[in-house]
Amino acid sequence: MKAMLLAAGRGERMRPLTDHRPKPLIEVRGQPLIVWHLRALARAGVDEVVINLSWLGAMIRDALGTGEAHGVRIRYSEEGEPPLETGGGIQRALPLLGDAPFLLVNGDVFTDVDLGALRLPAGSLAHLVLVPNPPHNPRGDFDLRDGRIVGAPADRLTYSGVGIIDPALLLEAAPGRFPLRPWLQKALDAGRLSGQRHDGYWLDVGTPERLADLEHHLTVCENRANA
């Protein structure tokens, strides 16, 4: 399976750290955040990763190269300025991703989800990993019932930024700048959106404070492993 890492955003909430360095290259425990993702994808058996580029994208390309050092092969999808948002970015990258379902990972999150175990159920256009609602998103995003994301009140959860996408989800999308959410809603309305709940570690690394939280979490994990 191929994967797409979303890395084109400006990282406004992370400023001033992102004024002269793209957010994916901000370091956590001595490694750029995006390298943690690449190594997790390699462990999951992913051998080809597409990364979309916009803000300071050349720095990401220079830092990661072909991806060989991290156990994957990287291909880059250039968006220019401004970035194309999630939907537009995926649509632009589809020629690199091919016709088969692919793993989608938002570069802004950190999680211990077992990426290698994710599958797209028959009939679904997208399968989303959902997590308990964090303080910054208390109302959640989607209602999950028995493995299906539904339009009626159910277990209201937050989209983690991790999922499996069938390229057919965006088959009718015109090129340009647009969000992913309306296309997920179309799949939901057609009964073709599935999901699963993850109760392990997950963090939206969107602010300097949450970056510090992640640093602390990984330090604790390392100390436990070495105890």
With contact defined as beta carbons under 8 Å apart, do 141 and 180 qualify? no
Residue 206: other Cβ atoms inside 10 A: 17
Between helix 57-64 and helix 33-43 the angle, nearest 10°, is 50
Query: Can you give the pLDDT at residue 10?
Result: 76
What is the residue-averaged pLDDT of the chain? 93
The backbone torsions φ and ψ at residue 145, rounded to the nearest 5 degrees and listed phi first, read -140, 120
60: its two tokens:
């990401």
User: Cα 109 from chain centroid?
Assistant: 7
Instruction: List the alpha helices (DSSP H) in the chain.
Output: 33-43, 57-64, 85-97, 181-189, 208-226
Q: What would the pLDDT profile of 56-92 be if each residue is shown by its tens digit? A: 899 999 999 999 999 999 999 999 888 999 999 999 9
Lowest mean pLDDT among 15-29, 95-109, 116-130, 167-181: 15-29
Backbone angles phi, psi at 160, to 5 degrees: -80, -15
Residue 128 pLDDT: 98
pLDDT (tens digit, 9 = 90+) per residue, 35-60? 999 999 999 999 999 999 998 899 99
At 143 the pLDDT is 97
Say yes or no to pLDDT of 227 above 80. Answer: no
Using CA atoms, how far apart are residues 93 and 158, in angstroms rounded to an integer?
25
What is this structure's pTM?
0.94
CATH topology of domain 2-226: Spore Coat Polysaccharide Biosynthesis Protein SpsA; Chain A (3.90.550)
- What pLDDT is attached to residue 16? 76
Helix (H, G, I), strand (E, B) or coil at 203: strand
